[in-house]
Amino acid sequence: MAYDVVVRNGLVVDGTGAPSFRADVGVKDGRIAEIGAIAPGAGAREVDAAGRVVAPGFIDPHTHFDVQLLWDGAARPALEHGVTCVVPGNCSLSLAPLKAADRQRVVGMFQQIEEMPPEAFTTAFDWSWEDFAGYRRAIEKALSINVAPLVGHSVIRLWVMGAAAQERAATADEIAAMQDLLRQCLEAGAVGLSTSFVDIDENGRPVPSRFAQFEELDALSATLGEFGRMLQCVPEFYDTDITIARIDQLSELSLKHGIPTTFSPVFDSRATPNNVPRIMARVEEQFARGARVWPQMQTRPIDVSFSLLRPSLFFARLPRWVRVLRQPVEARLASLNDPETKAKMVADLGADGGERMMGKLVVRGGDAAPADLIGKTLGEIAAARGQAPALALIDLSLENGLDVAFLAASTGHEDTDRVTPTPANPLVHIGASDGGAHISSFSTYGDTGYLFSEFVRKGGHLSLEQAVAKITGETADIWGLKDRGRLKAGLAADIVVFDPDTIDREAELPAFDMPGDGMRYVRGARGIDTVLVNGQVAYAGGAYTEARSGVVCV
């Protein structure tokens, strides 16, 4: 056979933003061999794409699949959404390089920052590595999806400085050692370095990267410059002035060392209507100077679900609630049943008893949620009970074994009319999905489908070709993934076949598929027919295949 696979009769959207055209796509030895009219029967496997779009596989540049990839090489459900390449290791955290003695410390950070259950780190795999090359070998055993991993600044610091990484500035010798270590990681396949200016560990202490002087980041950026690789950071996204200061710092590093930089997230909010316009104005000024400082914006609105069964970022600004909910179940129940503690928790909400923060919460389910309350707001329930909303939340949870799930819907980034013009800006990098993180608070999957349903079909602010380019060719260019992101002869055959009229994300549902029967929220995909990774069909007809053709693809 001339080709291993021929994707036939589809509308080719090639990832460049150019107008679509009808053609067949021939794949041979993992690469795109031809795009054009291909003779019937030329493929060992033929994929009928009539009425469908044939596009490059989508690239998700902000994920935390670091641990999931060790037991699930498809990063489910990312692959079924058409995502063929993920970037884990964001926000200063990766699972390598990491000495055995420091594992528990980093696991605590992952649990705190990314809300991952401890069982994910203790029951599903054997820690067989310390260095970055070892982690790469561990995930490469069964990858169905491509991975372009970042290495975390916090773990690099921890490797070199030990406990002092969370106590002080580094010495010149320590900075030099960090540069050597970063260099080893980049040579072993890291796509860049991630850092964080906001995160804390499970004890409330700032993560190691936050103890770094700018000189340390400058030195590490010089090492990135040797490879032309990415610097990613999480800025203080809740404060526009600080975010602009970070844009200026990143721009200085970009210009000095010739590296791309990116920061995430950027949120639109009615409460801070000037945030995105001010950020974008500064980004445009810095790009005009030659800096590369890419703002990452997610497509989906911010929805947060929670129950009192486990800690949630919903309570991030209520330290007492965080302390109570972090306790083991028995102690947590004792605290919630203690009248004095309960009164203090309610008082923390202020004079309105939580009406403003909690009144619009909706009971969404949970195994023990009373059926007649599902769909009602906590404000309605509290009024019927004659209680303050915060007290009603606690008591309703206690009455039902804590297994009542609440939904805070559209708490930000929800006004499509405000958000829509921004993703179309050529300087906005579509990303920030957080895939694989915050798994018990919201689904981080399906942002790509939502891009097409909300911003192409409904809003009409992006053309089909523009939307595809945003999450394929443009993303590959930003990250230096030269072999990905476009349908072009000679490039890796990462291909997604989808229905442009139906591609979307499904409803958010709880799933119990994490190690130790841990719960996470997921969204299935709609309108995705077939996904090829490096020339092999990895997903088709609503099912994953046995293909393990993913690679570390830097």
Partner 1 sequence: MALTTQRRFTTPGPDETVEELASRALPGEPLEAAVDRIKSWNLHIFAGRKPAGLLLGSDVVFVEPPLG
The residues binding partner 1 (CB under 8 A) are 168-169, 197, 204, 206, 209-214, 216-217, 236, 239, 241-242, 244-246, 248, 281-282, 285-286, 288-289, 319
Do residues 262 and 286 lie in contact, with contact meaning Cβ atoms separated by under 8 Å? no
Task: Say what angle helices 132-140 and 172-187 make with each other, to 10 degrees.
Answer: 30
* Beta carbon nearer to partner 1, 237 or 450: 237
Could you give the CA distance from residue 505 to residue 407 in angstroms, rounded to a whole number? 18
* Beta carbon nearer to partner 1, 313 or 398: 313
Distant-in-sequence, close-in-space partners of 116: CB < 8 Å, separation ≥ 6: 64, 67, 110, 437, 439
Q: How far is the CB of 483 from partner 1 (least distance, A)?
A: 34
* Beta carbon nearer to partner 1, 108 or 459: 108
* Helix, strand, coil abundance in the chain, percent, nearest 5: 35, 20, 40
Q: How far is the CB of 216 from partner 1 (least distance, A)?
A: 7
Q: How far is the CB of 323 from partner 1 (least distance, A)?
A: 12
* Beta carbon nearer to partner 1, 164 or 409: 164
Q: How far is the CB of 326 from partner 1 (least distance, A)?
A: 15
* Beta carbon nearer to partner 1, 217 or 531: 217
Q: How far is the CB of 145 from partner 1 (least distance, A)?
A: 33
Q: How far is the CB of 207 from partner 1 (least distance, A)?
A: 10
Q: How far is the CB of 215 from partner 1 (least distance, A)?
A: 9
* Beta carbon nearer to partner 1, 4 or 199: 199
Residue 398 class from Cβ within 10 Å (0-12 exposed, 13-18 middle, 19+ buried)? middle
* Beta carbon nearer to partner 1, 119 or 167: 167
> Looking at the DSSP assignment, which residues form a beta bridge with residue 363?
406
Alpha carbon 105 to its chain centroid, in Å, reads 22
* Beta carbon nearer to partner 1, 217 or 304: 217
Torsion angle defined by CA atoms of residues 385, 388, 390 and 394, in that order, rounded to the nearest 10 degrees: -30
Q: How far is the CB of 317 from partner 1 (least distance, A)?
A: 9
Which residue, among 328, 421, 456, 446, has the nearest Cα to 58 in the 3D structure?
446
Could you give the CA distance from residue 431 to residue 298 in angstroms, rounded to a whole number? 5
Q: How far is the CB of 431 from partner 1 (least distance, A)?
A: 23
* Beta carbon nearer to partner 1, 169 or 329: 169
Q: How far is the CB of 252 from partner 1 (least distance, A)?
A: 11
Q: What are the distances in angstroms from CA 60 to CA 28, 140, 443, 484, 546?
A: 25, 18, 14, 12, 22
H-only helix segments in 162-198: 172-187
Could you give the CA distance from residue 422 to residue 426 in angstroms, rounded to a whole number? 9
* Beta carbon nearer to partner 1, 8 or 282: 282
* Beta carbon nearer to partner 1, 239 or 395: 239
Question: Given the DSSP bridges, would you call strands 504-514 and 518-526 parallel, antiparallel or unpaired?
Answer: antiparallel
Q: What is the CB neighbour count within 10 angstroms for residue 104? A: 11
Q: How far is the CB of 277 from partner 1 (least distance, A)?
A: 13
Do residues 428 and 297 lie in contact, with contact meaning Cβ atoms separated by under 8 Å? yes
Could you give the CA distance from residue 85 to residue 476 in angstroms, rounded to a whole number? 10
Q: What are the tokens at 396?
A: 């309703």
- Tell me 40's DSSP state: T
Which residue, among 547, 552, 546, has the nearest Cα to 535 in the 3D structure?
547
